[in-house]
């Protein structure tokens, strides 16, 4: 390593001494210039005081007689005096009547009693009134030339600078020689230290002695030997550390890959309970950014996460989770924390699109850099499935309980007492109808179960003519007593679609059945097949229209929900599953259900399918 001279002890001593001497010389020269300035200024003022009365007295008589020629002659003679730059006389009205050394017609310079060498040209201006018997006759103004003072100041400054430079050079040489004698051994120590810094751990011994610097050299020799031994030990330790670091690096990369690819979210906290790390899955689940949570303490983090929940009060903060963990694990073993949290099923539902439901878990750590890890598992689908199962079982039990109660009630009445043949026939008819309703419910439940389980795997798709399929449905459909057969409207040409014939017929039958059930007044029911769209996006629609009770927009929006019924009075038979089956069948065909209805005016349901090519 190279040291510039002013960074050495010797260099700093020399610089400090030269700086002090430079300051003293500057003060000396500056003070000399100041004294010169004051002396010259005093001399100029004295000269002005000597000249002014004489000139003033000489100018009184001619000025009083308006003899301006004599005034001009006096000024010309006076201007010849050494040191006077110009002279001028003005009358009592302020008009210039005579000048010497000043350009004619040019305004006189302003008079400044302050003595200054900074004016250009350097001049000392003075103005005195000319009076006779107390009456003002005019004004005498003259300026003293100060160039000689500037020349004297310049000469003094030049001499002072030359003397200062000579003094500094001489002092620098003497101080350098003195510093070299004092710091010679320190220089040897410095050179040896630089060798050690450059890797030469066994430098040549430096001189030793009994003085302070000599003892420093002895200590340096001992230190250099100790450094060499220590470096050897550190080299062996470094090789072992490198091996361990490589192993830790591999493990770290594996853990990072696991956390980055994990579908579960993880948030770790440092020893001060501040958020240290969160994996990508956590940010995908919550929609948060790393800048929003990294560095937050557990209290603020809990509040931030609770704010993003659909019900902020449902989120237990970390303090509560740790309390529950401690209660379920009194021995404080972190290994049992995850099962304990799973038994308690801590769930939160996030606000926003999808309303994600997350299961929380907490694991405490005894590591120095990680105090705890909070994990999140996406259970939205699982929760939704559980909810749908519970809702499905509840609706199914409710729908089955109603006909079962009728069957059980009438059967119990017939067993408990005797009835006439007509009454028995009536009761048996009710039991028969309720059994039929139960069978219909069970069949529709089984249809839904098969559709959910197989998701179209048992569908047999082929190209079929939608018009022919509709004719077959009408031919096989049992029209309720007192109502007319559906009015059929089909195009002349075939309307080909790719579908499972039996499933599509089931969907059409369900819609046709609803049309008759919700037309209690016997209104006309029509069914039509419609071609729509261009060649590239052609579609075929099967539309069933009735003129019955109709629905509100809210009812039409829910008509395909399972167990939802427009009629809540119970007067119209049904299970509330028919339209949901239609919707499932159409989705598995890649089609859709279109519903248009007006309360009191009837309903139109269209099954929309993509058009297909004719079979070869």
- Residue 461: which of 495, 497, 510, 511 has the closest Cα? 497
Neighbour count for residue 228 (Cβ, 10 Å): 14
> Is the domain of 144 the same as that of 62?
yes
- Residue 604: which of 519, 516, 545, 529 has the closest Cα? 545
> Is the domain of 360 the same as that of 399?
no
Provide the pLDDT for residue 131: 82
Q: Does some domain include residue 179?
A: no
Q: Which pair of tokens denotes residue 539?
A: 């579609």
> Is the domain of 401 the same as that of 518?
no
Q: Does some domain include residue 228?
A: no
Provide the pLDDT for residue 543: 92
Structural domain of 418: 385-450
> How far is 274 from 294, CA to CA, in rounded Å?
8
Q: Which pair of tokens denotes residue 197?
A: 């810094």
Provide the pLDDT for residue 9: 60
- Which band of pLDDT confidence, cut at 50, 70 and 90, is reported for residue 1? very low
> Is the domain of 360 the same as that of 391?
no
Provide the pLDDT for residue 174: 74
C-alpha distances in Å from residue 411, one per residue of 146, 269, 290, 400, 401: 143, 68, 68, 16, 15
Q: Which pair of tokens denotes residue 221?
A: 């020799």
Higher-confidence residue: 533 or 470?
Answer: 470
Q: Which pair of tokens denotes residue 65?
A: 């007689």
> Is the domain of 416 the same as that of 273?
no
- Residue 529: which of 490, 566, 576 has the closest Cα? 490
- Which band of pLDDT confidence, cut at 50, 70 and 90, is reported for residue 547? confident
- Which band of pLDDT confidence, cut at 50, 70 and 90, is reported for residue 397? low
546 has pLDDT over 70: yes
Distance from chain centroid for Cα 594: 45
Q: Angle 225-228-232 (CA atoms, 0-180°, nearest 5)?
A: 145
Provide the pLDDT for residue 328: 64
- The percentage of the chain sitting over the pLDDT mark of 90, rounded to a whole number, equals 0
To which H or E segment does residue 392 belong?
Answer: helix 380-416
| Domain end residue (candidates: 144, 162, 180) | 162
Provide the pLDDT for residue 179: 63
Provide the pLDDT for residue 329: 59
Question: Do 383 and 359 touch, CB atoms closer than 8 A?
Answer: no
Question: Do 48 and 126 touch, CB atoms closer than 8 A?
Answer: yes
> How far is 296 from 305, CA to CA, in rounded Å?
11
> Is the domain of 374 the same as that of 389?
no
591 has pLDDT over 60: yes
> Is the domain of 150 the same as that of 28?
yes
475 has pLDDT over 80: yes
Q: Does some domain include residue 604?
A: yes
State the average pLDDT over residues 158-167: 78
Number of structural domains in the chain: 4
336 has pLDDT over 50: no
Neighbour count for residue 612 (Cβ, 10 Å): 18
Provide the pLDDT for residue 20: 77
Higher-confidence residue: 356 or 540?
Answer: 540
State the average pLDDT over residues 552-564: 80
Query: What CATH number has the domain bearing residue 595?
Result: 3.30.565.10
Question: Do 201 and 224 touch, CB atoms closer than 8 A?
Answer: yes
Q: What is the chain's Cα-based Rg?
A: 57
Give DSSP secondary structure letters for 478-547.
Answer: -PPTT-PPPEEE--SS--EEEEEHHHHHHHHHHHHHHHHHT-TT----EEEEEEES-STT-EEEEEEE--
Query: What CATH number has the domain bearing residue 409?
Result: 1.10.287.130
Q: Where are the alpha helices (DSSP H) in 417-465?
A: 421-454
CB neighbour list of residue 460: distance below 8 Å, 6 or more residues apart: 500, 501, 502
Burial of residue 468, with CB atoms counted within 10 A of its CB: 0-12 exposed, 13-18 middle, 19 or more buried: middle
Q: Which of 6-10, 45-49, 57-61 has the highest mean pLDDT?
A: 57-61
Higher-confidence residue: 546 or 407?
Answer: 546
- The percentage of the chain sitting over the pLDDT mark of 70, rounded to a whole number, equals 77
Question: Do 484 and 524 touch, CB atoms closer than 8 A?
Answer: yes
Q: Does some domain include residue 181?
A: no
Q: Which pair of tokens denotes residue 598?
A: 């007006």
Q: Where are the alpha helices (DSSP H) in 128-211?
A: 147-197
Q: Does some domain include residue 506?
A: yes
Provide the pLDDT for residue 450: 65
Q: Does some domain include residue 126?
A: yes
- Residue 128: which of 47, 46, 43, 51 has the closest Cα? 51
| Strands of the 526-532 sheet, one edge to the other | 487-489, 526-532, 539-545, 602-610, 592-598
Helix/strand/coil for 114? coil
Provide the pLDDT for residue 438: 74
Torsion of CA 198, 199, 200, 206, to 10 degrees: 60
- Which band of pLDDT confidence, cut at 50, 70 and 90, is reported for residue 303? confident
Residues present in the chain in total: 616
Provide the pLDDT for residue 186: 67
> Is the domain of 280 the same as that of 335?
yes
**Beta strand extents in 301-442 (DSSP E only):** 346-349, 357-364, 372-378
Higher-confidence residue: 385 or 3?
Answer: 385
> Is the domain of 352 the same as that of 391?
no
Range with lowest mean pLDDT among 100-104, 162-166, 341-345: 341-345
4 has pLDDT over 60: no
Q: Does some domain include residue 501?
A: yes
CB neighbour list of residue 10: distance below 8 Å, 6 or more residues apart: 176, 179, 180, 182, 183, 187
Higher-confidence residue: 184 or 122?
Answer: 122
Please compute, for residue 551, the number of CA atoms within 13 A of its CA located in the half-sphere on the CB side: 24
State the average pLDDT over residues 401-428: 79
- Which band of pLDDT confidence, cut at 50, 70 and 90, is reported for residue 346? confident
> Is the domain of 403 the same as that of 504?
no
Q: Where are the alpha helices (DSSP H) in 262-379?
A: 280-286, 290-293, 298-307, 318-328, 337-344
324 has pLDDT over 50: yes
Query: What CATH number has the domain bearing residue 112?
Result: 3.30.450
| Domain end residue (candidates: 450, 475, 503) | 450
Backbone angles phi, psi at 371, to 5 degrees: -95, -30
Q: Which of 81-90, 162-171, 591-600 has the highest mean pLDDT?
A: 591-600
> Is the domain of 394 the same as that of 370?
no
Phi-psi group of 576: left, alpha or beta (phi > 0 → left; psi -120 to 50 → alpha; rest → beta): left
Question: Do 597 and 550 touch, CB atoms closer than 8 A?
Answer: yes
Q: Which pair of tokens denotes residue 431?
A: 């039991």
Question: Do 562 and 395 touch, CB atoms closer than 8 A?
Answer: yes
414 has pLDDT over 50: yes
| Domain end residue (candidates: 146, 162, 178) | 162
Angle between helices 212-261 and 147-197 (to 10 degrees): 70
> Is the domain of 527 the same as that of 562?
yes
Range with lowest mean pLDDT among 217-226, 286-295, 478-487, 569-578: 569-578
Please compute, for residue 32, the number of CA atoms within 13 A of its CA located in the half-sphere on the CB side: 16
- Which band of pLDDT confidence, cut at 50, 70 and 90, is reported for residue 425? confident
> How far is 543 from 490, CA to CA, in rounded Å?
10
Phi-psi group of 126: left, alpha or beta (phi > 0 → left; psi -120 to 50 → alpha; rest → beta): beta
Higher-confidence residue: 23 or 355?
Answer: 23
Average pLDDT, the chain: 76
Q: Which pair of tokens denotes residue 614?
A: 């004719």
Q: Does some domain include residue 212?
A: no
List, in sequence order, every residue forming a beta bridge with 360; answer none if it has no partner: 346, 376
- Residue 410: which of 424, 420, 393 has the closest Cα? 424
Tokens 């057969």 belong to: 485
Angle between helices 9-64 and 147-197 (to 10 degrees): 170
334 has pLDDT over 60: no
Range with lowest mean pLDDT among 65-74, 80-89, 322-331, 351-360: 322-331
Provide the pLDDT for residue 454: 57
């Amino acid at each position: 390593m190279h040291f510039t001279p002013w960074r050495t002890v010797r260099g700093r001593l020399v610089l400090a001494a030269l700086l002090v001497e430079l300051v003293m010389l500057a003060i000396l020269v500056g003070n000399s210039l100041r004294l010169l300035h004051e002396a010259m200024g005093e001399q100029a003022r004295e000269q002005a005081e000597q000249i002014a009365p004489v000139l003033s007295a000489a100018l009184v008589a001619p000025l009083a007689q308006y003899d301006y020629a004599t005034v001009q002659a006096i000024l010309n003679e006076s201007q010849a005096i050494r040191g006077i730059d110009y002279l001028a006389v003005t009358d009592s009205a302020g008009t210039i009547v005579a000048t010497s050394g000043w350009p004619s017609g040019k305004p006189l310079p302003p008079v400044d009693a302050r003595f200054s060498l900074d004016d250009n040209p350097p001049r000392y201006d003075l103005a005195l009134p000319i009076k006779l018997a107390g009456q003002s006759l005019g004004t005498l103004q003259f300026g003293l030339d100060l160039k000689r003072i500037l020349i004297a100041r310049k000469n003094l400054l030049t001499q002072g600078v030359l003397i200062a430079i000579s003094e500094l050079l001489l002092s620098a040489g003497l101080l350098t020689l003195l510093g070299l004698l004092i710091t010679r051994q320190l220089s040897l120590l410095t050179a040896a230290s630089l060798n050690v810094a450059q890797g030469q751990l066994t430098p040549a011994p430096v001189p030793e002695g009994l003085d302070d610097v000599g003892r420093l050299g002895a200590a340096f020799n001992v230190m250099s030997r100790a450094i060499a031994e220590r470096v050897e030990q550190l080299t062996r330790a470094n090789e072992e550390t490198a091996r361990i670091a490589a192993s830790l690096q591999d493990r770290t990369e594996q853990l990072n890959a696991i956390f980055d690819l994990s579908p579960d979210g993880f948030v770790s906290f440092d020893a001060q309970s501040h958020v240290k790390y969160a994996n990508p899955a956590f940010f995908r689940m919550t929609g948060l950014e790393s800048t929003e949570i990294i560095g937050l303490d557990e209290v603020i983090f809990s509040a931030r996460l609770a704010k993003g929940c659909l019900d902020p009060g449902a989120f237990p903060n970390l303090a509560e989770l740790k309390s529950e963990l401690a209660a379920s694990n009194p021995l404080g073993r972190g290994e049992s924390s995850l099962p304990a949290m799973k038994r308690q099923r801590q769930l939160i539902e996030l606000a926003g699109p999808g309303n994600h439901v997350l299961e929380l878990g907490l694991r405490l750590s005894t590591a120095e850099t990680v105090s705890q890890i909070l994990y999140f598992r996406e259970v939205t689908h699982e929760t939704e499935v559980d909810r749908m199962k519970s809702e499905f079982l509840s609706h199914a039990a409710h729908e089955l309980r109603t006909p079962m109660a009728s069957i059980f009630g009438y059967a119990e009445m017939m067993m408990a007492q005797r009835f006439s043949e007509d009454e028995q026939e009536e009761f048996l008819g009710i039991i028969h109808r309720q059994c039929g309703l139960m069978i219909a419910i069970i069949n529709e439940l089984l249809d839904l179960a098969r559709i959910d389980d197989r998701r179209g795997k048992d569908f047999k798709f082929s190209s079929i003519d939608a018009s022919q399929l509709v004719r077959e449905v009408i031919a096989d459909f049992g029209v309720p007593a007192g109502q007319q057969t559906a009015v059929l409207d089909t195009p002349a040409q075939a309307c080909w679609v790719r579908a499972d014939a039996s499933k599509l017929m089931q969907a059409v039958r369900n819609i046709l059945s609803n049309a008759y059930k919700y037309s209690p007044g016997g209104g006309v029911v029509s069914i039509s097949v419609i071609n729509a769209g261009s060649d590239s996006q052609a579609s075929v629609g099967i539309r069933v229209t009735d003129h019955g009770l109709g629905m509100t927009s809210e009812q039409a929006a829910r008509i395909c929900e399972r167990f939802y019924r427009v009629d809540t009075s119970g007067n119209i038979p049904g299970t509330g599953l028919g339209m949901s089956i239609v919707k499932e069948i159409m989705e598995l065909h890649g089609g859709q259900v279109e519903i248009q209805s007006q309360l009191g005016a009837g309903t139109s349901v269209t099954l929309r399918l993509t058009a297909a090519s004719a079979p070869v």
